[in-house]
């Protein structure tokens, strides 16, 4: 949600800004981001030049699929991280082979905020990789000093910034 930090904390809330800037030791942009519809409009208008799409298929799922495809096709560069060659991936310049839920360990949160732990049951096929590993490798290639943190550490960071899951530990 482009106008929220984790746990539905508004990006223009002085309390949330102070909390997240202190936690991440980073100055943050206080301006809400664009919605999916606004992103597609901006791509059509040439205001967005590139996009990284992970696990979504806007070329098929957008309410106006033709408009979405027009915007996606207008991009100078499109990266798609997914488990299938979706309609969106078909338009991509780069496709990163992701892993499906039985191929990774992590948590899933439903819209009713039920948090469930999923444990890796099988290895990813071929060149497919864990989503977190892919993102960490991209960060490193961009010169960011991201550690090779396991999923449990990412979850711990989430629970330290999200009051709604603060009482849930990885072990629990």
Q: What does the pLDDT read at residue 1?
A: 85
Pairing of strands 115-118, 106-109: antiparallel
Listed in sequence order, the DSSP H helices in 45-130 are 58-61, 65-74, 87-90
Q: Which of 100, 48, 54, 99 has its CA nearest to residue 70?
A: 48
**109 has pLDDT over 90:** no
CA 130 to chain centre: 13
Distance CA 52, CA 92 (A): 9
Cβ atoms within 10 Å, residue 53: 19
> pLDDT digit string (tens) for 20-43?
999 999 999 999 999 989 999 999
pLDDT for 160 beyond 90: yes
Cβ atoms of 58 and 51 closer than 8 Å: no
* 88 has a pLDDT exceeding 90: yes
pLDDT, position 172: 82
Q: What is the mean pLDDT of the chain?
A: 94
Confirm if 67 and 40 have CB atoms less than 8 A apart: yes
Would you say 40 and 20 are in contact if contact means Cβ atoms under 8 Å apart? no
Output phi, psi for 83, to 5 deg: -95, -10
How buried is 115 (Cβ within 10 angstroms: 0-12 exposed, 13-18 middle, 19+ buried)?
middle
Residue 45 in this model has a pLDDT that exceeds 90: yes
Query: Mean pLDDT throughout 95-106?
Result: 94
Confidence (pLDDT) at 52: 97
120-153: pLDDT as tens digits: 999 999 999 999 999 999 999 999 988 899 999 9
- With a cut of 90, say whether residue 17 has pLDDT above it: yes
């Amino acid at each position: 949600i482009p106008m929220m930090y984790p746990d539905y904390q508004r990006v223009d809330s002085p309390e949330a800004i102070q909390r997240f800037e202190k936690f991440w030791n980073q100055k943050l942009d206080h301006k809400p981001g664009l919605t999916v519809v606004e992103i597609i409009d901006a791509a059509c208008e040439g205001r967005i030049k590139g996009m990284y799409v992970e696990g979504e298929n806007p070329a098929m799922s957008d309410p106006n699929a033709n408009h979405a495809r027009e915007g996606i096709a207008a991009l100078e560069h499109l990266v798609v991280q997914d488990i299938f060659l979706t309609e969106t991936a078909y338009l991509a310049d780069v496709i990163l082979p992701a892993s499906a839920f039985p191929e990774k360990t992590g948590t899933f949160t439903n819209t009713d905020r039920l948090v469930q732990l999923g444990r890796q049951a099988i290895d990813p096929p071929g060149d497919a990789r864990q989503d977190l590993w892919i993102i960490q490798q991209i960060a490193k290639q961009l010169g960011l000093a991201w550690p090779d943190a396991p999923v449990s550490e990412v979850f711990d960071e989430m629970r330290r910034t999200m009051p709604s899951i603060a009482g849930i530990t990885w072990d629990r």
